[in-house]
């Protein structure tokens, strides 16, 4: 537990030049989560509390501590190494061209509509059969 607190109060950046994009995006998303939570706390306190110190203090404290924690999170060595590996792996991924993406999407949409039509036909046929046998009422 003391290692977590030691890491929380450090200022340095772990492996500064590696995995920058993934680390920045991850830190921004975590910070955004804390800022949304602080905003929601502010909205709730504004309705339920009369003291300005209690309306502005806790949300500001939550926002500032959340920003600091999101900055430190992406610099924890084990998590930073994971994010660096994620960025390295993303660079090796093969991305399809626009035409290939368009054709693949068209195939998927066509198959979805075809299967919907087949299921509609099966449902219609079985409904007629069950109504003829008296299992289903009209």
Give me the DSSP letters along 75-128: TSHHHHHHHHHHHHHHHHPPPPPHHHHHHHHHHHHHHHHHHHHHHHHHHHHHHH
pLDDT band at 115 (very low <50, low <70, confident <90, very high): very high
Joined tokens for residue 33: 């989560």
Q: What global pTM score does this model have? A: 0.63
Taking only the tens place, the pLDDT of each residue in 59-101 is 999 999 999 988 888 888 888 889 989 989 988 888 899 999 9
Residue 12 has pLDDT above 80, yes or no: no
Q: Which of the residue ranges 30-34, 47-51, 63-67, 120-124 would you say has the lowest mean pLDDT?
A: 47-51
Give me the pLDDT at residue 32, please: 96
């Amino acid at each position: 537990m003391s290692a977590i607190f030691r890491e929380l109060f450090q200022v340095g950046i772990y492996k500064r030049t590696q995995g920058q994009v993934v680390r920045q995006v991850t830190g921004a998303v975590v910070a955004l989560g804390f800022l949304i939570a602080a905003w929601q706390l502010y909205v709730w306190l504004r309705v339920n509390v009369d003291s300005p110190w209690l309306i502005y203090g806790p949300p500001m404290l939550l926002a500032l501590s959340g920003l600091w924690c999101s900055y430190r999170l992406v610099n924890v060595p084990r998590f930073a190494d994971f994010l660096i590996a994620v960025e390295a792996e993303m660079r090796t991924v093969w991305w399809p061209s626009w035409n290939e993406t368009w054709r693949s999407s068209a195939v998927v949409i066509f198959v979805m509509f075809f299967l919907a039509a087949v299921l509609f036909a099966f449902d219609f046929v079985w409904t007629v059969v069950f109504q003829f046998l008296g299992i289903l009422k009209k």
